[in-house]
Amino acid sequence: MLRYALGRVVQAAMVLWATYTVSFVVLYRIPGDAVLERTRYEPTDITAEQMNTLRAEYGLDQSLVSQYLHRTADVLTGDLGRSLVNGRPVVELIGEALPWTLQIAGLALVVGLFFGAGLALLANYVQAGWLRQALLSLPPLGVAVPSFWLGLVLLQIFSFRITWFPATGHGGWRTMALPAITLAIPIGAQIAQVFAKSLEQALAETYIQTARAKGLGHGRILVGHATRNATLPALTIFGLVVGDLFAGSVIIETVFSRNGIGQLTAASISAQDMPVVQGLVLLAAIVYVLVNLAVDLTYPLLDPRVARLSRPVPSGA
């Protein structure tokens, strides 16, 4: 078990380091000169001498390797550099934006999990074939709907036709409802698809037959026997779901004009503000890696067979 956990932690750290390195190479070398980039936002009467001073300040006059080492040392001490647009520390910008996004994303995750898992359980509980088909046809719809349009439709109906919720704003649960629902639908649909499938597979196992032969009711078998076994394969998509929350917040924060990580992402991409972009990429990677690590470490608790293998299996495979 310890060996398994240690292997997972090392692997997670490797992925993080690789992500940092790749993003450094892609974001800092290909776009050219960060000083020229910055001068786009400032008066253009900057002298060559001042430019060289700026270059020295950013460390751009050094070799790539030395830049990489310097920046890595900074990053390890929690300094992600400053925004090229307004000169504020990247960590500060992200720290300000994060709570807004966490509110919505957390609410969306709860809603999506509740309705997604509920739909999967219900579809496997009902006996009528047509009802089951109808329930199972909902998740493909939820996965296919463009969330930017879904947000607009919800706005149209619930803010303009019947004025239940305000269209924009930041105060209270009423402003959070529509964005959270928009974000929750694709996520809930994905959870429902995977969970319904793994429930179906679990219900086909022989231990379910045994339980049925012992005289257990349909509901007891579903909740007591199938659900726990079906949770395991469904857990693997958790990392992807969290990634979708991150990506989805870019869209819903644009649609609903809210502050947050998504808004920061869209703005920094438009402005080619590379330090902020790299900070956001690192944040996403950290979240993904931590979630997957948590899932991997929960695995053996749910299924002791995983720990007995002791050899780490490639994640997601």
Partner 1 sequence: MKPSVTEQDLALTPSPALPSGHAGTFQDDGAQPAVPAAGPRSGAPSRRRPRREHLVSAIRRLRPALRQPGLVLSVAWIIALVLAIVLPDVVSPSEPTRATARRRLAPPGPDHLFGTDQLGRDLFSRMVHGASLSLRTAVLSVLVGLVIGAFLGLLAGFLQGWVDVVIMRVMDVLLAVPSLLLALTLIAVLGGGSINIAVAVGVSGIAVCARTMRAEVIHVRQSVFIEASFVCGARRSAVLRRHVLPNSAGPVVVLAALQFGPAILAVSALSFLGFGARPPTPEWGSMVAGGRDFLATAWWLSTMPGLTILLTVLAGNRVARALNGR
182-221: contacts with partner 1 (CB under 8 A): 190, 193-194, 197
As beta bridge partners, residue 82 has: 89
How far apart, in whole angstroms, are the C-alpha atoms of residue 263 and residue 188?
23
Whose Cβ is closer to partner 1: residue 211's or residue 290's?
A: 290
Q: Do the Cβ atoms of 145 and 218 come closer than 8 Å?
A: no
Helices (H), the chain: 2-29, 34-39, 48-58, 64-76, 90-125, 129-136, 138-144, 147-155, 172-203, 206-213, 218-220, 227-235, 238-255, 261-270, 274-302, 304-309
Kindly tell me which of 19 and 229 has the beta carbon lying closer to partner 1. 19
Considering only residues 2 to 31 of the shown chain, the ones binding partner 1 according to CB under 8 A are: 14-16, 18-19, 22-23, 26-27, 30-31
Tokens, residue 259: 């502050």
- 266 counts as binding partner 1 under rule CB under 8 A: yes
Distance CA 27, CA 20 (A): 10
Site pattern 226..265 for partner 1 (x: CB under 8 A):
-------x--xx--x--xx-xxx-xx--xx---------x
Least distance to partner 1, CB of residue 304, Å: 23
CB of residue 166 vs partner 1: minimum separation in angstroms?
A: 13
Quick check: 277 binds partner 1 (CB under 8 A)?
yes
Q: Is 144 in the site for partner 1 (CB under 8 A)?
A: yes
Residue 268 CB neighbours (<10 A)? 22
Q: How many residues bind partner 1 (CB under 8 A)?
A: 60
Choose between 221 and 235: whose C-beta lies nearer to partner 1.
Answer: 235
